């Protein structure tokens, strides 16, 4: 398998996981609402970049979305 194919497979896998996690993510406060909005923006950016064929930027957006999701949960802004 090529590096490109591996990257596309990882993007697909983590996109599905993020989408599933977002179904149950809820803000605990105003800060959480802003964090959730940013997570969704990064998810949309990831979709945009994969459609343009830019797998690296797409994956980077997913990494940022996951980082915000985990940090938001850890700090209690998301549940």
Q: Answer yes or no: is pLDDT of 1 > 90.
A: no
Domain boundaries, the chain: 3-74
Q: For 2, left (φ over 0), alpha (ψ -120 to 50), or beta?
A: beta
Q: Please check whether residue 55 is in contact with residue 11, taking contact to mean a CB–CB distance below 8 angstroms.
A: yes
C-alpha 22/C-alpha 40 separation (Å) is 8
Q: Which of 28, 47, 38, 31 is nearest to 66 (CA)?
A: 38
Percent of the chain past pLDDT 90, that is, above it, reads 96
In tens, the pLDDT along 34-45 reads: 999 999 999 999
Q: Taking the complete model, does pTM exceed 0.85, yes or no?
A: yes
Residue 76 DSSP class: T
**Domain boundaries 3-74, corresponding CATH code:** 1.20.1270.90
């Amino acid at each position: 398998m090529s590096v490109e194919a591996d990257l596309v497979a990882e993007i697909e896998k983590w996109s599905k996981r993020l989408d599933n996690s977002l179904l149950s993510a809820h803000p605990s406060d105003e800060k959480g609402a802003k964090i959730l909005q940013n997570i969704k923006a990064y998810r949309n950016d990831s979709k945009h970049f994969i459609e343009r064929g830019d797998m690296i930027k797409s994956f980077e957006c997913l990494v940022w979305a996951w980082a915000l999701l985990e940090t938001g949960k850890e700090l209690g802004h998301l549940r």
